[in-house]
């Protein structure tokens, strides 16, 4: 976590910074927003993740001598710029939505206010951590929501795209509500609960399935879970699990659980429960795994499958539609102590960003406690707290006047003038926070299919500013003189 990752930046961050430096812009304060354009997995909500890694990255920003020498060898940068980089520290301010908070498309989740070179250089890794952290935490929270009161253990390390991502995924899975991880290094480094049993290869390494079970029970008599689908769940696995349970009980211990990793999990779990109960082992829990998805878990619950535990890997560390798509855009520059809005208009309407130095509010209904929606304002606006009319930016005719509500700023200060002011909560504190936050979302927003839209609206002032800048950008032309050597923006 203390590793220096400053050089993990796209080359163009450095070439742009060289230009800023050469043109005397190094100390100009810029405001960048990180956000995404469509909700994660195309569903009703996302869950913030990755902030803990961002905090540790920002604390360790610096260019080592070997970094400077490497950059010098590329013959792309001036010596005075390299000297500037050698002394670079992050001196800016960062606001961010805490890990575990439900988040939505097109609202700033991280805002960086810093000298433009500092803000530019951190873009790559900031987006990397956000894209991964949001994906893992959202995926975990969605399956945890689907499972309800059934505990989930994450064991996706072997499916992850590398060991570093596996560790991050394990932490995010716990924040999202999982009870434990199979990843031992993640448990050691991040202080996470770990759990696990054995694999099919363990069973096949013994002459018989029963011998494999008994050998494990001898070593772990108080924490014995057996995998019963290596050969045949109902003809072999469960009968041998019952024999193992009898063996343990005679020694004063109890079989903890059986795990089913293939087949019709609803049918097999029901038959397994019946067999265990008839044999006098109603205390033995049933764990299922096998690449379960949110939809599958809901279906199992609808079929009243008697499942006590779920093991899940693939669909946390590498879920379908995995791309979150966080972007990082310049939204304002400070000129003469005033934040002047900047916009990327684009030929694609969906890519037109919301300009300006902004604040994101979540609006809560005082009567129900549910979140009515989110409101984005310019930083210097005062939002009424007694009555307000929300405007849908995608359809200005769609308005809603609200009363009896309260506002909460979603972003919290993380760094102020280069100093860390935010203490990252423990993983379990973030998990508890996430659980409470999810209770404020309408159930319709959390649906797997046809989820209700959680509105992210702009204030009237901000909406007019966005429209003005888009119109201005679209009206710009370039005039060339006769020899095409000069151009002038009009």
Looking at residue 149, what is its pLDDT?
95
Tell me the average pLDDT across 54-79: 96
Higher pLDDT, 159 or 92: 92
Q: Which pLDDT band holds residue 486 (cuts at 50, 70, 90)?
A: very low
Q: For position 129, what pLDDT does the model report? A: 96
Residue 361 in 3-state DSSP?
A: strand
Residue 470's pLDDT is 87
Confidence band for 430, pLDDT divided at 50, 70 and 90: very high
Place of tokens 């998990």: 431
Dihedral angle computed from the Cα positions of residues 315, 318, 323 and 328, in that order, rounded to the nearest 10 degrees: 110
Q: Which of 310, 338, 355 is nearest to 471 (CA)?
A: 355
What's the chain's average pLDDT?
93
pLDDT of residue 392: 87
In degrees and rounded to multiples of 5, residue 49 shows phi and psi of: -155, 160
Does residue 347 register a pLDDT over 80?
no
Q: What is d(CA 244, CA 257) in angstroms, rounded to the nearest whole number?
A: 11
Strand runs (DSSP E) across 225-337, as ranges?
225-227, 257-260, 285-288, 309-312, 327-335
pLDDT of 482 = 46
Q: Is the pLDDT of residue 378 over 90?
A: yes
**Per-residue pLDDT tens digits for 305-316:** 999 999 998 888
What's the rounded mean pLDDT across residues 338-352? 79
Instruction: Answer whether residue 2 shows pLDDT above 80.
Output: no
For the residues 260-275, what does the mean pLDDT come to? 97
Quick check: 475 pLDDT over 90?
Answer: no
Confidence band, pLDDT 50/70/90 cuts, at residue 477: low
325 or 430, higher pLDDT: 430
Establish how many alpha carbons lie within 13 A of residue 424's alpha carbon, considering only the half-sphere containing its beta carbon.
16
Structure pTM? 0.92
Instruction: With CA atoms as reference, report the closest residue to 134 among 159, 162, 169.
Output: 169
Name 134's Cβ contacts closer than 8 Å, sequence gap at least 6. Answer: 36, 40, 46, 47, 48, 49, 50, 103, 324, 326
Asked if pLDDT for residue 389 goes beyond 60, the answer is yes
pLDDT of residue 33 exceeding 50, the answer is: yes
Torsion of CA 436, 438, 443, 446, to 10 degrees: -160
Measured between alpha carbons, how far is 63 from 443 in angstroms, rounded to an integer?
A: 48
Q: Map tokens 């909460």 to a residue.
A: 408
Answer whether residue 12 shows pLDDT above 90: yes
pLDDT higher for 399 or 430?
430
* Structure confidence at residue 29 (pLDDT): 97
| 433 exposure class (CB count in 10 Å sphere: 0-12, 13-18, 19+) | middle
Q: pLDDT (tens digit, 9 = 90+) per residue, 142-166?
A: 999 999 999 999 999 988 889 999 9
pLDDT at 32 > cutoff 50: yes
Structural domains present in the chain = 11-136+322-475 (3.20.140.10), 137-317 (3.20.20.70)
Which residue, 52, 279, 300, is CA-closest to 152? 300
Residue of 111, 123, 129 lying closest to 416 (CA atoms): 111
């Amino acid at each position: 976590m203390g590793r220096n990752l400053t050089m993990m930046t796209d080359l163009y961050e450095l070439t742009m910074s060289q230009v800023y430096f050469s043109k005397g812009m190094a100390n100009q304060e810029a405001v960048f927003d990180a956000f995404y354009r469509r909700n994660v997995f195309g569903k009703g909500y996302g869950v913030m993740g990755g902030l803990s890694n961002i905090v540790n990255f920002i604390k360790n920003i610096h260019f080592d001598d070997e970094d400077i020498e490497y950059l010098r060898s590329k013959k792309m940068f001036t010596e005075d710029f390299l000297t500037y980089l050698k002394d670079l520290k992050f001196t800016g301010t960062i606001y961010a939505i805490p890990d575990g908070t439900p988040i939505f498309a097109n609202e700033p989740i991280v805002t960086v206010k810093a000298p433009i070179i500092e803000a530019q250089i951190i873009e790559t890794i900031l987006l990397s951590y956000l894209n991964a952290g949001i994906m893992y935490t959202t995926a975990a929270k969605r399956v945890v929501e689907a499972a309800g009161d059934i505990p989930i253990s994450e064991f996706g390390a072997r499916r992850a795209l590398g060991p570093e991502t596996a560790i991050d995924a394990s932490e995010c899975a716990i924040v999202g509500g999982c009870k434990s991880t199979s990843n031992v290094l993640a448990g050691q480094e991040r202080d996470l609960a770990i759990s696990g049993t054995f694999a099919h290869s363990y069973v096949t390494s013994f002459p018989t399935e029963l011998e494999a079970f008994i050998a494990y029970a001898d070593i772990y008599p108080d924490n014995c879970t057996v995998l019963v689908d290596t050969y045949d769940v109902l003809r072999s696995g469960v009968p041998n699990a019952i024999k193992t349970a009898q063996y343990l009980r005679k020694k004063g211990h109890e079989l903890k659980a059986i795990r089913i990793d293939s087949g019709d999990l609803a049918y097999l779990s029901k038959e397994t429960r019946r067999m265990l109960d008839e044999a006098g082992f109603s205390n033995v829990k049933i764990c299922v795994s096998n690449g379960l998805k949110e939809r599958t878990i809901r279906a199992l619950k609808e079929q009243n499958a008697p499942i006590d535990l779920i093991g899940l890997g693939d669909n946390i560390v590498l879920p379908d539609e995995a791309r979150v798509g966080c972007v990082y855009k310049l939204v304002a520059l400070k000129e003469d102590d005033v934040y002047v809005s900047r916009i990327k208009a684009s030929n694609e309407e969906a890519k037109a960003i919301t300009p300006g130095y902004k604040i994101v509010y979540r609006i809560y209904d005082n009567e129900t406690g549910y979140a009515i929606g989110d409101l984005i304002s310019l930083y210097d606006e005062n939002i009424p707290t007694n009555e307000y009319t929300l405007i849908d930016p995608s359809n200005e005719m769609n308005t809603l006047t609200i009363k009896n509500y309260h506002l909460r700023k979603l972003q919290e200060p993380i760094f102020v003038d280069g100093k860390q002011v935010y203490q990252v909560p423990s993983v379990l504190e973030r998990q508890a926070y996430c659980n409470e936050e999810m209770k404020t979302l309408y159930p319709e927003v959390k649906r797997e299919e046809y989820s209700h839209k959680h509105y992210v609206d702009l204030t009237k002032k901000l909406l007019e500013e966005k429209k003005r800048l888009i119109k201005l950008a679209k009206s710009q032309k370039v005039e060339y003189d006769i020899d095409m050597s000069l151009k002038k923006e009009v």
